[in-house]
Structure 1
């Protein structure tokens, strides 16, 4: 499991400028540069395949790449809501640490129902202290919640799920016959006219579609009627139109089928089999025979935890990253990565997969479905050697665009793009927007 696996996305011909580095026992800044380099390399190859010119030079700014992994928006006179629910976090159990992920109301309710306590940190801490970590993890997951006990790398490698993840490729493709619609792309905007249907939420999936929008894709995000994620929306909805549908209703499913029928790409974060119960693969293929799908899950696509709910911070606990960080930092509690690097890197790898899928459809007349997971990206991270440089500081004024972004919440500055494809500048045609702010329809 090395950076050679990124050859999924082409020749990986890109340069890296700068040496700023996140302080961590893992190569977080190296992962940032590599995952963004995969996007740039895939885009350069697509430009050649489209006949838009010779392969352009690709450069990744290591400092900016690292900063994008932290967040891209700087509000002017307003604040982004807190990312974490008040109950979310790490708690000591009888035999070690466990992390509760309670940002979603139903996940919060599940954890509190198992713990039988009030939604207050002190009460939760007292309740967790009476459990063993593995037992509590299992009970919360069984109740429909999201939690992860802290394991070591050795424990994870010995675990059936860790073994299943290690056996998976970084990107697993399932291909079939198909071809690209003629979109009239340009060198300046190679993804112009590409209709990307975005059924993803926090955090990797939205990063992937934000990236595609930066190269001209028409991204339509679809959320459930009651879904909210205020702590990340200003960051990840850049360049997109955001709508809502009830896919469990007859009318909502009908409108969804209409969207699928005109889409070129579907990006979703449903757990294995979940989307199939809403719209079976055969029906999707009938509606959109040339559709490229990119799918994300947390813990991998095989093994006993394939259908388990998960998030970046939980996968860090399960896979041994937080425990290794604890030993590196000399602390007796979990020490996560300085940023949610698994989410961000997987998001860029998903975007690179879409671009690679387009190139393959043009060259081989095949489309397909790509599968990625946070847990598999974690294995890539731990395989990398850090290229040490100066400790990352900032951001500073020079890191941001000169243009003010006018969002629904107020004006903001946005980081300059870290990916530079010569002649194909990343830019976004729309500011960040509220969820559900447009009708679920293509322009």
Structure 2
């Protein structure tokens, strides 16, 4: 691998520089990042550059962790084509199929004055939307009911009922919206550094740099699980915790690669005690519950820090950490709708309906930034003994993408068999193949020690 950037990745490297600055990484590290591969996902914003940059800075953080153990910085190279594939789906089932990505009701509907997206994959969110609309779970009935509402009013009514919806706005409308204004004023990564405690005695394995690092995963769907999947790819012990009964049939086989998955009900005293014991022994906590949710469970920031003063605590919100929507439920597709991405796609493509990005790029990019923040937190912990808190949001990542300059687009070449691992992965759902890892860190191959296994398939223990 060359330690010098190549011209193909000019846009991606510029974005990587911005992200690395937000991660407070040493500027000289960028000299070790290069880009290989060609092509772009078809989108009105530079999605492949976003993918390449976010994967790249996560790789730089791993390289920094390795360099901290002594020796030269390893070279880091991202394949922009493979990164694009990973921003879609890395899993290729062999002889079986994943269920549909979306619930039958979910999607975009014309309202009286625009468009609204309903996110109804979770049963409680579907029930909330249907209750507001006063109809059964039948798409034509939902469409007729939505047509009688103003978009903003329906969005507000569904959210007030505990559901998830977003009215379509333009980039300009979002920029002037109270929440859009709040998000623009936030950093890409919020940092808080804690008082130093005893430095950990990790022995860094050059081939598996994160071996021995314990990562407690309290995340769902895509962004947070992408972060912890990345860390597992470099040897971290990732333990994912879900409540009893929780399932994500489409996304779980994609995102639990390399992890152990257990169940705890944090509202039950005995399970709560188990979780606190796990947290005391963790090096990293990654969580994506809505702001305030852990506080209501008696696990607020102060309590987490009491349990583990050196913890690297990385969290995610949908709409940012300030402004009137800071506690609102949200998902990638809703942020794309509300922040102007889907409207720009519709307008610039000349189509008559919202056109989102071809992949859930906001989720994936935020996930890799979270991974980079976690590993940079480990670097600081090892150097000084100080734990830290890093907070990111889907809406701020969307603002980063929308503000990015776009280079000329070259279509991605179609996927080939050579883009996939030859070995079958024995997942809980059947055999599968994976797209080759999009990242090379010199001397430390990105690979996973465990196949994707079902939620609840492991014990809640380290």
Give secondary structure in 2 for the equivalent of 1:187: coil
Q: Distance in 2 between matches of 1:238 and 1:313?
A: 23
Q: 207, 215, 239: which is aligned to 1:220?
A: 239
Q: Corresponding residue for 1:94? A: 112
State which drifts further: 108-117 or 3-12.
3-12
Structure 2 equivalent of residue 17 of structure 1: 36
Q: 1:301 aligns with which of 303, 321, 343?
A: 321
Alignment of 1:178-217 (within 5 A): 178=196, 180-217=199-236
Aligned pair partner of 2:458 in 430, 438, 441: 438
C-alpha separation in 2, matches of 1:416 and 1:2: 23
- Contact 1:3–1:380 at 8 Å: present in 2 too? no
146-155 vs 183-192, which deviates more? 183-192
1:118-165 Cα distance to aligned partner (Å, 9 max, x none):
101001001101110000000000000000000011110000100100
Indicate the residue corresponding to 1:334 in structure 2. Answer: 354
CA distance in structure 2 between the partners assigned to 1:255 and 1:204 by the alignment: 25
Taking the aligned partners of 2:203 and 2:55, their CA distance within structure 1 comes to 25
Structure 1, gaps ≥5 residues long: none
Q: State how many pairs are aligned.
A: 441
Q: Conserved in 2, the CA contact under 8 Å of 1:115 and 1:128?
A: yes
* Structure 2 match to 1:426: 446
- In the alignment, which residue of structure 2 is the partner of 1:396? 416
In structure 2, which of residues 10, 22, 25 is the aligned counterpart of residue 8 of structure 1? 22
Contact 1:242-1:434 at 8 Å conserved across structures: yes
Structure 1 consecutive aligned stretches of length 4 or more whose deviation exceeds 6 Å: none
What's the secondary structure of 2:238's corresponding residue? Answer: strand
1:54 aligns with 2:68: no
TM-score normalised by structure 1 residue count: 0.97
- Cα separation, 2, equivalents of 1:38 and 1:89: 33
Distance 2:301 2:315 in 1: 13
Alignment of 1:142-181 (within 5 A): 142-178=160-196, 180-181=199-200
Separation in 2, partners of 1:24, 1:206? 24
2: distance between equivalents of 1:216 and 1:50? 16
Q: Deviations over 1:295-350 (max 9, x none)?
A: 00100000000000000000001100000010111012100001000000000000
Conserved 8 A contact 2:22-2:187: no
For residues 350 and 315 of structure 2, the distance between their equivalents in structure 1, rounded to whole angstroms, comes to 37
Deviation by residue 1:5-46 (Cα, 9 ceiling, x = unmatched): 312342333101112110111000000000001011111111
Separation in 2, partners of 1:56, 1:113 = 55
Mapping of residues 6-405 of structure 1, within 5 Å: 6=19, 7-9=21-23, 10=25, 11-12=29-30, 13-51=32-70, 53-178=71-196, 180-278=199-297, 279-405=299-425
Q: Does the 8 Å CA contact 1:5/1:170 hold for their aligned counterparts? A: no
Higher relative CO (Cα under 8 Å, sequence separation at least 6) belongs to 1
Q: Quote the Cα distance in structure 2 between the aligned partners of 1:384 and 1:225.
A: 41
Q: Following the alignment from structure 2 to structure 1, what is the Cα–Cα distance between the partners of residues 368 and 310?
A: 23
d(CA) in 2 for partners of 1:98, 1:369: 35
SS in 2 for 1:122: helix
- Relative to the length of structure 2, the TM-score reads 0.93
In the alignment, structure 2 segments of 5+ residues that lack a partner are 1-13
Contact 1:241–1:433 under 8 Å retained in 2? yes
1:32-81 CA-to-partner distances (Å, cap 9, x unmatched) read: 00000101111111111122x21011100010000000110101100111
Q: Distance in 2 between matches of 1:286 and 1:159?
A: 38
**1:3–1:384 CA contact under 8 A, matched in 2:** no
SS at match of 2:135: coil
C-alpha contact 1:19 1:390 (8 A) present in aligned 2? yes
Are residues 3 and 47 of structure 1, via their aligned partners in 2, closer, same or farther at CA, if it must alter by over 3 Å?
A: closer
| In 1: Cα distance, 2:287 partner to 2:84 partner | 25
CA-atom RMSD in angstroms = 1.3
Per the TM alignment, residue 395 of structure 1 is displaced from its structure 2 partner at its CA by 2.1
**Do 2:93 and 2:431's aligned partners in 1 also have CA atoms closer than 8 Å?**
yes
Cα displacement (A) at 1:3: 5.0
1:170-227 Cα offsets, whole Å, 9 max, x none, are 0001110235422322111110011100000011000000000000000000011121
> Which secondary structure does the structure 2 equivalent of 1:108 belong to?
helix
